[in-house]
Amino acid sequence: MRTRFYNARILTMKAAAPDVFQGEVYVENEKIIYVGDGKGVEMCRGHFDREIDCKGNLLMPGFKDAHTHSAMTMLRSNADDLPLSDWLNHQVFPYEAKLTPEDIYALSKLAVLEYLTSGITAAMEMYLTPETIAQAFSEMGMRLVEVGGVNNFSQSPELLEDWYQKLNGKDPLISMQLGFHAEYTCSEELIEKIADLAKKYQAPVYVHVAETADEVEGCKERYGMTPVAFLAKKGIFDYGGAGYHCVHTTPADWEIMKEKHIDVVTNPGSNTKLASGIAPLSDYLRMGIPVALGTDGPASNNALDMFREMFLATGLGKLRENNAAAVPFYEVLKMATVNGSHVMRLPDTDVLAPGKLADMIMIDLHQPNMQPLNNIAANVVYSGSKENVIMTMVAGRILYDRFDGRMNFHIGEDPEKIYADCNAIKTRIVGRS
């Protein structure tokens, strides 16, 4: 399958600063084979299966949601206005205990629909049943990186290793990384077993870290050090990895993160709604610690919307530093695209270039919020919205478009059936129709 995109504005994200130019992108099967002005290029001339006039709209790499819990769609707007501890223990955990693998399969499909409308082409998922989640994403053509959520109450290091072996290399859309829920939900013995797996496979580890001040203080009481320091001491990050949230970290933590190659996945929407705090993004940027962007789950956010996350990342960063120049828009756009690809170990999805995977989106510039075109990249971060997403392509397949002004999903299933299935699960478990 060869597709030509022409009459486009293109933001490859390869440059250190925004560089939008007019040109064409050619896709063959799952990969990009050409990005340029199209002048004098004979590659595939007359041999395209489809040619799409972009009408001056923007092509760019898709957004990478580097931390989420997809099946929490069931609890959207049901577990609200509570601090993290109460939210988890009184709203989330009791309902999650009633979910079946088949429920999680269906609820994950609902999340995929939302990811696509937000221009998200890959998600890094931590939830209860990796195999049924992988099935849902694969059937819909969506890219997925799974992360173990091992804790004292569910999953285990043995299951994690089994999934790590089963889910890597089987499906080009699906991969699996080592991970566990958090220091405060895992015994020291359990954490040591995860560290052993990291050593065995020489693999990075992903975990919730320093999300709340109470979490940090609890770890200090148990072990006399911060979560970052404790987990590093236990060997969790001997081969790198990432911390989700990283809101309440210290300068000493930053030095460890730099040394151990611990990336940050910031989740400003969830941290704002749960009043967990504002991550020190300016410090991470200054230290050269890579930062990616995630939505967290739809129970704590409640939207899977990367435009909202981008605005909050830069806006809250400026507010925290009392400096309008803090956390610049292009750094945030890199968090949502290039950095997310690298944190998720998906290096072939980071930029638009020949040989890269064709995971890209089209942004509608012919809407009032994107005009005038003073700085298109800044518009995406500061004034963009999901309504500007015209197309979402994953591995060379258009999974979502609004070419005719309507939402069109190309995922092999009727969205209304997905909605109905998820509402039935919600009624059975939560108890309201």
pLDDT tens-digit map of 383-411: 999 999 999 999 999 999 999 999 999 99
Given its phi and psi angles, is residue 296 left (phi above 0), alpha (psi -120 to 50 degrees) or beta?
Answer: left
The runs of H, that is alpha helices, within 89-156 are 93-96, 101-117, 130-140
Lowest mean pLDDT among 91-100, 162-171, 314-323: 91-100
| Superfamily designation of domain 2-61+350-409 | Urease, subunit C, domain 1 (2.30.40.10)
Burial 220-234 (b: 16+ CB within 10 A, else e): eeebebbbbbbbbeb
Look at 311 and 81; give whichever has higher pLDDT. 311
pLDDT band, very low/low/confident/very high, at 40 (cuts 50, 70, 90): confident
pLDDT, residue 78, reads 85
The whole-number average pLDDT for the span 244-267 is 98
Structure pTM? 0.97
> What letter does residue 335 receive in the DSSP assignment?
I
Instruction: Give the phi and the psi of residue 133 in degrees, each rounded to 5.
Output: -65, -45
Nearest alpha carbon to residue 245 among 224, 214, 223, 222: 214
Total length of the chain: 433
pLDDT at site 3? 97
Averaged over 356-375, what is the pLDDT? 98
Please give the span between the terminal C-alpha atoms of the chain, in angstroms, as a whole number.
Answer: 44
* Amino acid residing at 133: I
Looking at residue 86, what is its pLDDT? 86
CATH of span 63-347: 3.20.20.140
Domain with CATH 2.30.40.10 in the chain: 2-61+350-409
* Digit-coded pLDDT (tens) for 94-128: 998 999 999 999 999 999 999 999 999 999 999 99
| pLDDT, position 81 | 86
Mean pLDDT of 171-200: 98
Q: Is residue 432 predicted with pLDDT exceeding 70?
A: no
Strands 205-209 and 174-182: parallel
What does the pLDDT look like over 281-304, one tens digit per residue?
999 999 999 999 999 999 999 999
Q: Residue 427: pLDDT above 90?
A: yes
The confidence score (pLDDT) of residue 92 equals 85
Task: Report residue 231 as tokens.
Answer: 């987990």
Q: What residue ranges of the chain are covered by domains with CATH 3.20.20.140?
A: 63-347
Q: Is residue 433 scored above 60 in pLDDT?
A: no
Decide if 267 contacts 309 (C-beta within 8 A).
yes
pLDDT of residue 89: 86
Q: Is 226:216 a contact under the CB 8 Å cutoff?
A: yes
Phi, psi dihedral angles at 297 (to 5 degrees): -80, 160
